[in-house]
Copies of this chain bind each other. A is one copy, B any other.
Amino acid sequence: MTDDIQINDGGTLRHLLTLENLSGELVSEILDRAQNFLSIGDRKTKKLPLLRGRSVFNLFFENSTRTRTTFEIAAKRLSADVVNLNIATSSQSKGESLLDMIDNLVAMQADMFVVRHAQSDAANMIARHVPKGIHIINAGAGSHSHPTQGLLDAFTIRHFKKDFTGLKIVIIGDILHSRVARSQIHVLKALGVHEIRVVGPETLVPESLSEMGVSVYNDVDSAIKGADVVTTLRLQNERMEVSLVPSVQQFHKDYGLTKERLALAHPEAIVLHPGPINRGVEIASEVADGPQAVILRQVTFGIAVRMAVMSLLQD
């Protein structure tokens, strides 16, 4: 599963494909740079010339306006030229293979590809294929990984909790199919978090997940108890989970993050969610809108994190 293609010989980051096996040092370097970029967003002139004249291609094989927009904004704030490619309407439909298509975009002197694809290895395959000087960012791959989401989760936790040592972190929901959960687990382990608890319906949180180094809980209240960080995952109605849970109402009753449940966590616990939220399903509105939720701060941090990654990638 290890994949060193994203690391240059000198130890710097060439691509961002996965957080698996990414060192805590590299993660911290990204987060530190994102910290520097954070203030840019508050200025009237939200521009840095770091990627001026570079061509960034958003290759979204899966529709995700929200994620695509965050990358588009991040690239434009770095002064890059951004080309959005809606692959459904492109020559994919003419039977062109993925790598032939990439070859063509490389020949147009692309500098960076932001790739969202249902297949977990699409971004890796592209990264292995492109010549030096071209950088790949995985913007979400199937249920496997979503590294910039993991990084922004880590940034958010560091922002509010300062230190990762000794944190108790719980993730609630469909851990099995969630690229968000996987990426968060990888980055938190790299940053030295020892206690990561996962909980959800047995079909979605099997015992085998403990191989990832997390504690699998059956009971949501026990899992939340004393937690410093609570991540609730989106119940993806549009994916397969619906058939794996009895009903949306039952899911909320069993696993929804209510005010009562959150009260079991540490009094200063923060609540994360990758968005968009399903109010009254995985999270109660009063929690989503409450003082402990940092869900919208995650979005802001996400722009800074993506700017950091885009500007760090190098040969």
Contacts and interface: CB of A to CB of B under 8 A. Distances in A.
Given A42-B109, A73-B83, A95-B278, A296 B66 contact: no
B43 A53 contact: yes
A189 interface: no
Interface residues of A, number: 54
A52 B63 contact: no
Interface in A204-253: 237-238
A300 interface: yes
Interface of A: 41-47, 52-55, 63, 65-66, 69-70, 72-73, 76-77, 81, 83, 85-86, 89-91, 94-97, 100-101, 103-109, 111, 237-238, 275-279, 296-300, 303
Given A81-B73, A237-B95, A300 B89 contact: no
A84 to B, nearest CB: 9
A104 B72 contact: no
A49 B142 CA distance: 41
A86 B278 CA distance: 21
B83 A55 contact: no
Contacts of A105: 69
Given A44-B54, A100-B277, A63 B81 contact: no
Contacts of A298: 107
